[in-house]
Amino acid sequence: MNRKKLILGLCLLAGTGYFGLLSQLEMNGILRNYVALMPVQAAALLYVLLRSKQRNTTA
């Protein structure tokens, strides 16, 4: 449980920093939406890749 809280805290800190950085940048509204979703897409891709690798090693 302690490791889970540490990871959650690091994600919260990174998300807060990313939000602050994105708030300071001056860019087009549509581009800002895409840039805001980049970490979510990267995390989803990483999750899928790790899950598929995990399934291949156990099979």
Q: Contact 37/58 with Cβ under 8 angstroms?
A: no
pLDDT at 11 over 80: yes
Q: Contact 22/32 with Cβ under 8 angstroms?
A: yes
Amino acid 22: pLDDT: 86
pTM of the predicted structure, to 2 decimals: 0.61
pLDDT at 59 over 70: no
The span from the CA of 38 to the CA of 29, in Å, is 15
